[in-house]
Amino acid sequence: MAINWFKYSAPATFYELAGKLVPWFAWPSALLFAIGVYIGFFVAPTDAVQGEAYRIIFIHVPSSILSMFLYLIMAGYAALGLIFNTRLSSMMASALAPTGALFAFISLWTGALWGKPMWGAWWVWDARLTSELILLFLYLGFIALHASIDDPRRADRASALLAIVGSVNVPIIYFSVKWWNTLHQGSTVKFTGTSMHVAMQQAMFSVLAACWLYAIAVTLARVRSIILERERNTQWVAELPEARS
């Protein structure tokens, strides 16, 4: 059984490592989030044009950025898993997907909340919001495909291929939606005004950093569960203290 040991060694060591790392990302994330929200809601000045409602961007913008980056990272991991047949990368890809989808959803939700006072409508067919919606669909497709295949190996490989096709398509979709939007003279959200107050920047960056740390912490925690589930029949899982109790 020399072969199996070699194959399983990576997830086993990573399981332990991830367990140690999670708190190191989770606590700073909570702290930074608290700081960012405090600055954003109490320190940052009221916007001259948009009033108080603009404050939602402190959550909206970081989650939009995260949802896009996480898709690319997910596709990258999926591609690694497909090409080099490394099981851990595929597990990382499936662990990232729900977090990415969550950020896409938060971004849409906060976008709608922001749209109501700004445009007087919950949903405006703005280029970025529409792209974000399609991104959410892509995440959901990935999760749905992975969930409906019973054999984990086939599930990993099939959804990896989908993620790669999706990431080739994302720029095309983004471009086409922008094109469509300019043709229909829709209004485009412009957050980056001429001058952004220092406190605004501080709030934005600390929430963004908090979101990154949160994404890493949650992904590591989730990949631990995935490893346990996939490796439940192996020796090392049986020997874990948490499995024995």
Binding site for another protein (CB under 8 A): 1, 3-4, 7, 134, 137-138, 140-141, 144-145, 148-154, 157-158, 161-162, 165-166, 168-169, 172-173, 175-177, 179-180, 183, 232-233
Please give the Cα distance from 146 to 157 (Å, whole number).
Answer: 9
Least distance (Å) from another protein to the CB of residue 87? 11
Closest CA to 214 of 54, 86, 105, 96: 96
Tokens 């913008």 — which residue?
61
CA distance 44 to 204: 10
Distance CA 5, CA 234 (A): 9
Structure letter (DSSP) for residue 40: I
Find the shortest distance in angstroms from Cβ 124 to another protein.
17
Distance between CA atoms of residues 93 and 189, nearest Å: 31
- What are phi and psi for residue 47, nearest 5 degrees? -75, 140
**Minimal distance, residue 176 CB to another protein, in Å:** 4
- Smallest gap from residue 148 Cβ to another protein (A): 5
154 vs 197 by CB, closer to another protein: 154
Nearer Cβ to another protein (48/172): 172
| Nearest distance from C-beta of residue 173 to another protein, angstroms | 6
- The single-letter DSSP state of residue 43 is I
CA distance 14 to 227: 9
Residue 103: CB minimum distance to another protein, A: 17
Residue (113 or 240) nearer to another protein, CB: 240
Strand partners, 51: 47
Q: Smaller CB distance to another protein: residue 151 or 242?
A: 151
Which of 62, 166 has the CB closer to another protein?
166
Supply φ then ψ for residue 194, to 5 degrees: -65, -45
Amino acid identity for residue 191 in this structure: F
CA 111 to CA 57: how far, in whole Å? 8
Q: Which is nearer to another protein, 153 or 197 (CB)?
A: 153
CB of 186 to another protein, least distance (A): 13
**CB 235 within 8 Å of CB 16:** no
